[in-house]
Structure 1
Amino acid sequence: MEKRTVNPWTWQDGRSYAQAVEVKNVESTLYCSGQAAIDPDGTSSDKDMKSQLQQAIANLEEVIRTAGYDCSGIVRLNIYTTSTEELWPHFPILQEWIAKHQITQAVTMLQVTGLFETLTVELEATVVR
Protein backbone atom coordinates (compact mmCIF):
# COMPACT_ATOMS: atom_id res chain seq x y z
CA MET A 1 0.00 0.00 0.00
CA GLU A 2 1.16 3.50 -0.80
CA LYS A 3 -0.12 6.45 1.21
CA ARG A 4 0.45 10.11 0.36
CA THR A 5 -0.75 13.11 2.34
CA VAL A 6 -1.76 16.31 0.60
CA ASN A 7 -1.34 19.49 2.63
CA PRO A 8 -1.22 22.76 0.68
CA TRP A 9 -0.76 24.55 4.03
CA THR A 10 0.95 23.83 7.36
CA TRP A 11 -1.68 25.05 9.84
CA GLN A 12 -3.41 21.65 10.02
CA ASP A 13 -0.25 20.01 11.39
CA GLY A 14 -0.94 21.34 14.90
CA ARG A 15 -4.43 19.88 14.71
CA SER A 16 -3.26 16.34 13.93
CA TYR A 17 -4.77 15.76 10.53
CA ALA A 18 -4.15 16.03 6.80
CA GLN A 19 -6.19 17.94 4.21
CA ALA A 20 -6.30 14.80 2.06
CA VAL A 21 -4.88 11.29 2.02
CA GLU A 22 -4.30 9.42 -1.22
CA VAL A 23 -4.02 5.64 -0.99
CA LYS A 24 -2.88 3.34 -3.81
CA ASN A 25 -2.42 -0.41 -4.06
CA VAL A 26 -4.73 -1.17 -1.16
CA GLU A 27 -5.17 -4.81 -0.18
CA SER A 28 -8.47 -4.15 1.60
CA THR A 29 -10.60 -1.42 3.16
CA LEU A 30 -12.55 -1.46 6.42
CA TYR A 31 -15.47 0.95 6.85
CA CYS A 32 -16.20 1.29 10.57
CA SER A 33 -19.59 2.33 11.87
CA GLY A 34 -19.55 5.17 14.34
CA GLN A 35 -18.08 3.99 17.63
CA ALA A 36 -19.25 5.64 20.82
CA ALA A 37 -19.16 5.07 24.58
CA ILE A 38 -21.27 1.92 24.60
CA ASP A 39 -20.36 -0.90 26.97
CA PRO A 40 -19.99 -4.50 25.73
CA ASP A 41 -23.49 -5.23 27.08
CA GLY A 42 -24.97 -2.46 24.89
CA THR A 43 -25.42 0.14 27.63
CA SER A 44 -24.85 3.73 26.48
CA SER A 45 -22.64 5.83 28.73
CA ASP A 46 -24.02 8.77 30.64
CA LYS A 47 -20.55 9.91 31.75
CA ASP A 48 -18.84 13.20 30.86
CA MET A 49 -17.40 14.08 27.44
CA LYS A 50 -13.82 13.12 28.38
CA SER A 51 -14.85 9.65 29.56
CA GLN A 52 -17.03 9.12 26.51
CA LEU A 53 -14.21 10.16 24.16
CA GLN A 54 -11.82 7.71 25.84
CA GLN A 55 -14.33 4.87 25.57
CA ALA A 56 -15.18 5.72 21.96
CA ILE A 57 -11.47 5.54 21.09
CA ALA A 58 -11.14 2.20 22.89
CA ASN A 59 -14.21 0.82 21.10
CA LEU A 60 -12.91 1.99 17.72
CA GLU A 61 -9.56 0.32 18.43
CA GLU A 62 -11.36 -2.91 19.37
CA VAL A 63 -13.34 -2.99 16.12
CA ILE A 64 -10.23 -2.29 14.04
CA ARG A 65 -8.15 -4.89 15.88
CA THR A 66 -10.90 -7.52 15.76
CA ALA A 67 -11.13 -7.04 11.98
CA GLY A 68 -7.39 -7.69 11.66
CA TYR A 69 -6.38 -4.12 10.82
CA ASP A 70 -4.07 -1.61 12.53
CA CYS A 71 -5.03 1.85 13.74
CA SER A 72 -2.10 3.21 11.71
CA GLY A 73 -4.17 2.36 8.62
CA ILE A 74 -6.88 4.91 9.43
CA VAL A 75 -7.15 7.31 6.48
CA ARG A 76 -10.46 8.99 7.32
CA LEU A 77 -11.89 9.91 10.71
CA ASN A 78 -15.26 11.56 11.19
CA ILE A 79 -15.99 12.99 14.63
CA TYR A 80 -19.57 13.66 15.63
CA THR A 81 -20.27 15.48 18.89
CA THR A 82 -23.18 17.13 20.61
CA SER A 83 -20.85 19.98 21.66
CA THR A 84 -17.60 21.00 19.96
CA GLU A 85 -17.11 23.47 22.81
CA GLU A 86 -17.26 20.66 25.38
CA LEU A 87 -15.13 18.30 23.26
CA TRP A 88 -12.37 20.77 22.38
CA PRO A 89 -10.62 20.83 25.82
CA HIS A 90 -10.28 17.04 25.55
CA PHE A 91 -8.99 17.08 21.97
CA PRO A 92 -5.40 16.39 23.17
CA ILE A 93 -6.60 12.89 24.15
CA LEU A 94 -7.45 12.26 20.50
CA GLN A 95 -4.22 13.88 19.32
CA GLU A 96 -2.13 11.68 21.64
CA TRP A 97 -3.93 8.59 20.35
CA ILE A 98 -3.29 9.67 16.74
CA ALA A 99 0.41 10.23 17.49
CA LYS A 100 0.72 6.92 19.40
CA HIS A 101 -0.51 4.97 16.36
CA GLN A 102 1.21 7.23 13.79
CA ILE A 103 -2.11 7.84 12.08
CA THR A 104 -2.29 10.20 9.10
CA GLN A 105 -5.92 10.86 8.30
CA ALA A 106 -8.35 13.29 6.79
CA VAL A 107 -10.81 14.54 9.44
CA THR A 108 -14.27 16.02 9.56
CA MET A 109 -15.71 17.15 12.89
CA LEU A 110 -19.40 17.92 13.09
CA GLN A 111 -21.56 19.21 15.90
CA VAL A 112 -24.93 17.47 15.82
CA THR A 113 -28.12 18.12 17.73
CA GLY A 114 -28.09 14.66 19.22
CA LEU A 115 -26.61 11.18 19.20
CA PHE A 116 -28.10 7.86 20.32
CA GLU A 117 -29.52 7.93 23.86
CA THR A 118 -27.06 9.66 26.24
CA LEU A 119 -24.04 9.71 23.91
CA THR A 120 -22.03 12.89 23.28
CA VAL A 121 -19.24 11.81 20.89
CA GLU A 122 -18.95 9.25 18.10
CA LEU A 123 -15.95 8.29 15.93
CA GLU A 124 -16.33 6.86 12.43
CA ALA A 125 -13.26 5.60 10.55
CA THR A 126 -12.10 4.23 7.22
CA VAL A 127 -9.08 1.95 7.54
CA VAL A 128 -6.87 0.45 4.83
CA ARG A 129 -4.10 -2.13 4.59
Structure 2
Amino acid sequence: MEIRNINPWKWQDARSYSQAVEVKHVEGTLYCSGQAAIDADGTSSNADMESQLMQAIQNLEQLIGEAGYECKNIVRLNIYTTSTAELWPNFPILQDWIAKHGVKQAVTLLEVKSLFETLKIELEATVVK
Protein backbone atom coordinates (compact mmCIF):
# COMPACT_ATOMS: atom_id res chain seq x y z
CA MET A 1 0.00 0.00 0.00
CA GLU A 2 1.14 3.51 -0.79
CA ILE A 3 -0.19 6.63 0.96
CA ARG A 4 0.55 10.12 -0.34
CA ASN A 5 -0.48 13.29 1.50
CA ILE A 6 -1.17 16.37 -0.60
CA ASN A 7 -0.75 19.72 1.16
CA PRO A 8 -0.38 22.79 -1.05
CA TRP A 9 -0.05 24.90 2.13
CA LYS A 10 1.62 24.50 5.53
CA TRP A 11 -1.06 25.86 7.89
CA GLN A 12 -2.94 22.54 8.15
CA ASP A 13 0.12 20.93 9.77
CA ALA A 14 -0.57 22.76 13.05
CA ARG A 15 -4.15 21.46 12.91
CA SER A 16 -3.16 17.78 12.59
CA TYR A 17 -4.52 16.91 9.17
CA SER A 18 -3.86 16.81 5.43
CA GLN A 19 -5.75 18.57 2.67
CA ALA A 20 -5.98 15.33 0.67
CA VAL A 21 -4.80 11.74 0.97
CA GLU A 22 -4.17 9.48 -2.02
CA VAL A 23 -4.01 5.72 -1.45
CA LYS A 24 -2.77 3.19 -4.03
CA HIS A 25 -2.47 -0.60 -3.98
CA VAL A 26 -4.89 -1.10 -1.09
CA GLU A 27 -5.40 -4.58 0.35
CA GLY A 28 -8.54 -3.58 2.23
CA THR A 29 -10.62 -0.60 3.31
CA LEU A 30 -12.48 -0.31 6.62
CA TYR A 31 -15.38 2.15 6.81
CA CYS A 32 -16.08 2.79 10.50
CA SER A 33 -19.45 3.99 11.72
CA GLY A 34 -19.30 6.97 14.01
CA GLN A 35 -17.76 5.97 17.33
CA ALA A 36 -18.96 7.82 20.41
CA ALA A 37 -18.91 7.56 24.18
CA ILE A 38 -21.07 4.46 24.39
CA ASP A 39 -20.24 1.71 26.89
CA ALA A 40 -19.96 -1.96 25.88
CA ASP A 41 -23.51 -2.51 27.21
CA GLY A 42 -24.89 0.20 24.89
CA THR A 43 -25.25 2.94 27.50
CA SER A 44 -24.64 6.44 26.14
CA SER A 45 -22.45 8.71 28.25
CA ASN A 46 -23.79 11.87 29.81
CA ALA A 47 -20.29 12.98 30.89
CA ASP A 48 -18.50 16.17 29.85
CA MET A 49 -16.87 16.71 26.43
CA GLU A 50 -13.39 15.70 27.61
CA SER A 51 -14.58 12.33 28.96
CA GLN A 52 -16.74 11.65 25.92
CA LEU A 53 -13.90 12.50 23.53
CA MET A 54 -11.52 10.14 25.32
CA GLN A 55 -14.09 7.31 25.29
CA ALA A 56 -14.92 7.89 21.62
CA ILE A 57 -11.20 7.66 20.79
CA GLN A 58 -10.88 4.45 22.81
CA ASN A 59 -13.91 2.94 21.06
CA LEU A 60 -12.56 3.89 17.63
CA GLU A 61 -9.15 2.45 18.46
CA GLN A 62 -10.72 -0.80 19.71
CA LEU A 63 -12.89 -1.15 16.61
CA ILE A 64 -9.97 -0.58 14.24
CA GLY A 65 -7.75 -3.04 16.13
CA GLU A 66 -10.39 -5.77 16.32
CA ALA A 67 -10.94 -5.43 12.56
CA GLY A 68 -7.24 -6.15 11.99
CA TYR A 69 -6.32 -2.63 10.91
CA GLU A 70 -3.99 -0.02 12.42
CA CYS A 71 -4.84 3.52 13.54
CA LYS A 72 -1.79 4.84 11.68
CA ASN A 73 -3.61 4.02 8.43
CA ILE A 74 -6.64 6.23 9.04
CA VAL A 75 -6.98 8.25 5.83
CA ARG A 76 -10.27 10.03 6.56
CA LEU A 77 -11.67 11.27 9.87
CA ASN A 78 -15.03 12.99 10.21
CA ILE A 79 -15.68 14.67 13.55
CA TYR A 80 -19.23 15.47 14.57
CA THR A 81 -19.84 17.54 17.70
CA THR A 82 -22.79 19.27 19.30
CA SER A 83 -20.50 22.12 20.39
CA THR A 84 -17.25 23.25 18.82
CA ALA A 85 -16.93 25.67 21.75
CA GLU A 86 -16.79 22.71 24.15
CA LEU A 87 -14.56 20.69 21.83
CA TRP A 88 -11.79 23.28 21.24
CA PRO A 89 -10.35 23.27 24.78
CA ASN A 90 -10.17 19.45 24.51
CA PHE A 91 -8.92 19.27 20.92
CA PRO A 92 -5.30 18.66 22.05
CA ILE A 93 -6.47 15.24 23.31
CA LEU A 94 -7.38 14.29 19.75
CA GLN A 95 -4.25 15.91 18.30
CA ASP A 96 -2.05 13.98 20.74
CA TRP A 97 -3.77 10.71 19.78
CA ILE A 98 -3.30 11.51 16.07
CA ALA A 99 0.40 12.27 16.66
CA LYS A 100 0.87 9.12 18.78
CA HIS A 101 -0.27 6.97 15.84
CA GLY A 102 1.39 9.09 13.14
CA VAL A 103 -1.93 9.63 11.37
CA LYS A 104 -1.98 12.04 8.40
CA GLN A 105 -5.67 12.03 7.54
CA ALA A 106 -8.06 14.21 5.61
CA VAL A 107 -10.58 15.60 8.09
CA THR A 108 -13.96 17.28 8.28
CA LEU A 109 -15.30 18.85 11.47
CA LEU A 110 -19.03 19.49 11.70
CA GLU A 111 -21.09 21.02 14.47
CA VAL A 112 -24.49 19.36 14.49
CA LYS A 113 -27.69 20.16 16.34
CA SER A 114 -27.70 16.83 18.16
CA LEU A 115 -26.25 13.34 18.28
CA PHE A 116 -27.76 10.14 19.66
CA GLU A 117 -29.23 10.53 23.15
CA THR A 118 -26.76 12.47 25.36
CA LEU A 119 -23.70 12.25 23.10
CA LYS A 120 -21.53 15.30 22.36
CA ILE A 121 -18.87 13.90 19.99
CA GLU A 122 -18.68 11.20 17.32
CA LEU A 123 -15.66 10.07 15.28
CA GLU A 124 -16.12 8.43 11.87
CA ALA A 125 -13.05 6.97 10.14
CA THR A 126 -11.90 5.32 6.94
CA VAL A 127 -8.86 3.06 7.37
CA VAL A 128 -6.80 1.22 4.74
CA LYS A 129 -4.28 -1.61 4.65
TM-score class, shorter-chain normalisation, is over 0.9
What amino acid maps onto 2:107 in structure 1? V
Calculate percent identity across the aligned residue pairs. Answer: 74
1:122 equivalent in structure 2: 122
Aligned residues: 129
What amino acid maps onto 1:128 in structure 2? V
Structure 1 runs of 4+ with >4 Å offset:
none
- Pair 1:105-2:117 in alignment: no
Distance 2:26 2:76 in 1: 14
CA offsets per residue over residues 77-109 of structure 1, 9 Å max, x none? 000000011101100000000000001100000
Shift of 1:113: 0.1
Distance 1:15 1:81 in 2: 17
Report matched runs for 1:4-83 at 5 Å.
4-83=4-83
Distance 1:91 1:50 in 2: 9
RMSD, matched Cα: 0.3
CA offsets per residue over residues 40-65 of structure 1, 9 Å max, x none? 00000000000000000000001000
Distance 2:94 2:80 in 1: 13
- Pair 1:2-2:2 in alignment: yes
Please list every run of 5 or more consecutive structure 1 residues that lacks an aligned counterpart in the other structure.
none
Distance 1:118 1:42 in 2: 12
Shift of 1:17: 0.2
Query: TM-score, length-normalised on structure 2?
Result: 1.00
What amino acid maps onto 1:44 in structure 2? S
Distance 2:42 2:101 in 1: 27
Shift of 1:15: 0.3
